[in-house]
Amino acid sequence: MTVRVAAVDLGAASGRVMTGVVGPGRLEMAEVARFANVPVQVGQTLHWDVLGIYRSVAQGLREAGLIDSIGIDSWAVDYGLLDADGRLLGNPVHYRDARTDGVMERVLREVPPAELYALTGLQLLPFNTVFQLVAARGTAQFAAAETMLLMPDLIAYWLTGEIGAERTNASTTQLLDVASGQWAAGLAERLGIDARMLPPLREPGDRIGLWEGTPVIAVGSHDTASAVVGVPASGDRFGYISCGTWSLVGLELDGPILTEDSRKAGFTNEAGVDGTVRYLRNVTGLWLLQECQREWGIDDLTSLLREAARVPVLRAVIDPNDPVFLPPGDMPARIRQACHDAGQTPAETVRCILDSLALAHQSTLADAQRLSGREVDVVHMVGGGARNDLLCQATADACGLPVLAGPAEATALGNILVQARALGAIDGGLDQMRSLIRATHPLRRFEPQGSTAPWREAAARLHLSG
């Protein structure tokens, strides 16, 4: 049996519609539409242009031609609110908006961090959905809201008319009980959030409804959940880095790690496909480089990387997770300031960013192994970062482990494979899906070079754990 499906993959900077053909020994993918995802500043609030996103998705699906199903994934935490008539109450707010400044600290005075972590298993990040909702309390829009839909669920609702919340993305809200897998209604009510606005949960592989006669199927709708499906690993002794705007660095486990050490180390336990747990830490990723390129007006990354490769390793490093790097703006200036105002050429800044990301990758994987008791033999780098040879080699050197790079389109592949399995074109679980990727998509291997000692010393200077 061979099927042809469409994967809608929405990223924080762009979206695209991909088609995938899946059959015995066959996994092919093609991009049919790509569109910019540009936030809109209105007054003091940064919004997503969700109507523009939906228009581009629908156009892309029509350009895809004859397909057997549709799956949608996107970034996490952001949402739209619907009124009693099912109408959107306003453009969703961007997670980088300043409305959540100080909100997490206020919530943690009501619900102690250890209690919140034990219940949700989630890394405390100021833009998590729960903090966004608390920030919205008291507004007319919040008072009128009947339903909260995360971004991929909102697009699916507009396509099919069906309301629901796919579990892998719901697990990023900090409103899902990690033990029961159900909404933490008591926590929501305690924080002034009407638990009735949390929609029914659905699983990857569930049929949502129809769009113009074509089934829409739930996939791992958090893009990292789909990306981890697309990690072409063999066995369980692997670490993964899904590297794009963010680097999601961690392990795939059978159950959550809810120890106090895990909480203090900033690890999250997010739901994965087939009942797995994505045990990971969010690391600021290529956002730093993207913002620098925007500030410099330089689109040619190839030349920048070639020049950066000539800069001595570890000449300057920063902590990429420093909150100073979270908002948009003059990123090169903030990096220079973090390096004590040392003069930096663009090439030196790029080298600083990539070495710093490699350090963060190493420290996160070391912590994940220590906290989980799971050792790894290889690191899989997927996403846009898998195309960046300098970053892949630096990560191998810092970790002292081989890095297998690719596929860059792991998220779309994971989306496609979950649909194909739901349609009956694939039998089995994650191992079978990943073996098909290995058989059809070449990987590049980066062996560690030199000692890890300089990397560990640099991490210690930055007070990175690991």
- Segment among 11-15, 259-263, 287-291, 382-386 with least mean pLDDT: 11-15
Residue 465 scores a pLDDT above 70: no
Each residue's pLDDT tens digit, 46-74: 999 999 999 999 999 999 999 999 999 99
Cβ pair 182, 201 in contact under 8 A: yes
Note whether 193 and 259 are same-domain residues.
Answer: no
Average pLDDT of span 361-389: 97
Note whether 293 and 359 are same-domain residues.
Answer: yes
What CATH number is associated with residue 400? 3.30.420.40
Single out the catalytic residue among 9, 223, 367, 397. Answer: 223
Within-domain flag for 427 = no
Mean pLDDT, the chain, whole residue set: 96
Grade residue 172 by pLDDT with cuts at 50, 70 and 90: very high
Average pLDDT of span 261-289: 96
Of 170, 203, 221, the one marking the end of a domain is 221
Within-domain flag for 430 = no
Strand, coil or helix: what is 359? helix
CA atoms of 157 and 216, how far apart (whole Å) = 10
Of 191, 221, 251, the one marking the end of a domain is 221
Residue 202 scores a pLDDT above 90: yes
Q: Tell me what pLDDT residue 270 has.
A: 97
Q: Tell me what pLDDT residue 466 has.
A: 58
Note whether 56 and 201 are same-domain residues.
Answer: yes
Note whether 158 and 285 are same-domain residues.
Answer: no
CA atoms of 55 and 61, how far apart (whole Å) = 10
The two structure tokens encoding residue 7: 């994967």
Note whether 11 and 100 are same-domain residues.
Answer: yes
Grade residue 391 by pLDDT with cuts at 50, 70 and 90: very high
Strand, coil or helix: what is 141? helix
Within-domain flag for 75 = yes
Note whether 179 and 245 are same-domain residues.
Answer: no
Whether residue 397 lies in the annotated active site: no
Q: Judging by DSSP bridges, how do beta strands 277-284 and 147-150 pair with one another?
A: unpaired
* Domains held by the chain: number: 2
Note whether 98 and 193 are same-domain residues.
Answer: yes
Task: Give the DSSP H or E segment for 390.
Answer: helix 389-399
Note whether 127 and 268 are same-domain residues.
Answer: no
Helix ranges, 111-182 (H): 113-120, 129-136, 140-144, 151-160, 167-170
Note whether 382 and 260 are same-domain residues.
Answer: yes
Give the closest residue to 142 by CA, choosing from 200, 89, 207: 89
CA atoms of 252 and 272, how far apart (whole Å) = 8
Q: Which residues pair with 3 in a beta bridge?
A: 22
Domain that holds residue 18: 3-221
Within-domain flag for 141 = yes
Largest CA distance in the chain: 62
Give the closest residue to 76 by CA, choosing from 92, 52, 100: 92
Note whether 122 and 196 are same-domain residues.
Answer: yes
Q: Tell me what pLDDT residue 461 has.
A: 87
Note whether 214 and 241 are same-domain residues.
Answer: no
Q: Judging by DSSP bridges, how do beta strands 3-10 and 207-211 pair with one another?
A: unpaired
Within-domain flag for 420 = no
**What is the share, in percent, of the chain residues with pLDDT greater than 90?**
95
Task: Give the DSSP H or E segment for 281.
Answer: strand 277-284
Within-domain flag for 438 = no
Within-domain flag for 209 = yes
Q: Judging by DSSP bridges, how do beta strands 3-10 and 69-73 pair with one another?
A: parallel
CA atoms of 254 and 251, how far apart (whole Å) = 10
Note whether 58 and 132 are same-domain residues.
Answer: yes
Of 194, 221, 248, the one marking the end of a domain is 221
Within-domain flag for 89 = yes
The two structure tokens encoding residue 381: 């780098």
Cβ pair 347, 310 in contact under 8 A: yes
Cβ pair 145, 81 in contact under 8 A: yes
Average pLDDT of span 119-130: 96
